[in-house]
Amino acid sequence: MDNNNLEQITFGGGCFWCVESCFNMLKGVQSAISGYSGGHKDHPTYEEVCTGETGHAEVVQITYDPAIISYEQLMDVFFFLHDPTQLNRQGNDIGTQYRSVIYYKDDDEKTKAEEAIKTSQESGRWPGKYVTELSRFEKFWPAEQYHQGYYNVNPNQPYCSAVVGPKIQKFKKHFGELGMLNDSE
């Protein structure tokens, strides 16, 4: 991986435990870090974000090498991992902190995000109108350390075994068949 040409993308697709675990398995992804963006409070805590009062979304910030994995491929994974037609929720996780959101850094990235939304919606993968929010990136606050790699450390935690685990298995099957996973996966 060429550390001089790494790029970042930040987006939210529900609970960050699933999203982060999956992105960390992809070839070309240097890191996927759980955190918070889009709110009005500096240094928010998980407990504060869970109230829905800080305005933050649970997000993952991905650092990747575009020579190995493209922005478009990352967007395809993003739309695979969550239902972009559900407003302010993913399954039983309800609240604005679980919204579908892409944070863009410039007009070029905004245009690419708009195109990715259109492409995914036209694919018919998810029936219904997409509600994915597009917002200018302002700040990323890393989540508390115990959230990083949460599923890997807690696979038997009830939420992880019921929700995260099955999603990861579906992800591994699909993207493994496409040859997009690290060799260790």
Identity of the residue numbered 168: I
CA 31 vs. chain centroid, Å, equals: 12
26 bridge partner residues: 181
- Asked if 42 contacts 92 with a C-beta cutoff of 8 angstroms, the reply is no
> Is 22 a catalytic site residue?
no
Q: Which of 15, 18, 22, 160 is catalytic?
A: 15
SS (H, E, C) 111-160: HHHHHHHHHHHHHCCCCCCCCCEEEECCCEEECCHHHCCHHHHCCCCHHH
- Which residues form the catalytic set? 15
